[in-house]
Amino acid sequence: MKKAVFSILFLSFGYFSFAQEPIRFYENAKVGYKNADGSMLVPAQYEAGSDFKEGLAIVLTGNKRGYINTKGELAIPCKFEDVSLFYNGLAKASLNKKYGYIDTKGNFSIPNIYDNADDFVNGLALVKKGDLFGFINAKGKEVLAFNYTGAYSFSDGLAPVQMNNRWGYIDNTGKVIIPFKYDMAFQFVNGEAVVMDGDDSFVIDKSNKLIREVKNHEEEEQRERMTKQQ
């Protein structure tokens, strides 16, 4: 019995070790990758590199981005100006200063016709055309029209959006859940969001109920997190 248990544990350990993805390392201001056992997979040759997601990692050559696979092969050439990690087989990518979404072969599944784009969240992605924002689904279909002069991606089921210089919140059908009454609105996190009304900043819940006055670090953290999405 003990031998059987030991064998199962050994096989399980071996499986997880084998399944572990390559590890990024730095050398002489360059990025490379090693296997889980420490053996060299890709020498330090890239200007930057990400962790692996869905079997691919972003790498940077010069000012162009592409992807390598877990074998260390360049799976998608470094030709894009900007890319994101893959989620459910799609990643945002910018080519010729226009954003779209590529598949794991590097082909545009959703054409690069947008001036900016964000990752998909629960099946919807925030995109920008000209000065207006809207939301599309994973097939590239416009789900929420380009009606917003400012917007951030969905979080906790709601998205902060701007119309007529005022911010409010919508759900994934476009229904206004919290009226357009704020000078600024940040994303919800664990049911709470920071909003600004004139010189006042405070935290609200999803029913637009005032919970408390905002602490400086909360607003700064929200700004920093949302700035990274722009």
pLDDT 10s digits, 111-134: 999 999 999 999 999 999 999 999
User: What's the mean pLDDT when you consider all of the chain?
Assistant: 90
Query: Which of 112, 160, 157, 153 minimizes the C-alpha distance to 135?
Result: 153
pTM, two decimals, is 0.84
pLDDT band at 151 (very low <50, low <70, confident <90, very high): very high
Which residue in the block uniquely carries the two structure tokens 């031998």? 3
Which residues lie across from 132 on neighbouring strands?
A: 129
Give the pLDDT mean for 53-66: 97
Q: Which one is predicted more confidently, 47 or 218?
A: 47
Handedness of CA 230, 185, 88, 132 (dihedral sign): negative
Give the pLDDT mean for 177-205: 96
Q: Is the pLDDT score of 14 beyond 80?
A: no
Q: Which one is predicted more confidently, 224 or 61?
A: 61
Q: What local confidence, expressed as pLDDT, does residue 218 receive?
A: 54
Q: What local confidence, expressed as pLDDT, does residue 217 receive?
A: 53
Instruction: Name all domains of the chain by residue range, CATH numbers in brackets.
Output: 1-114 (no CATH), 144-230 (2.40.10)
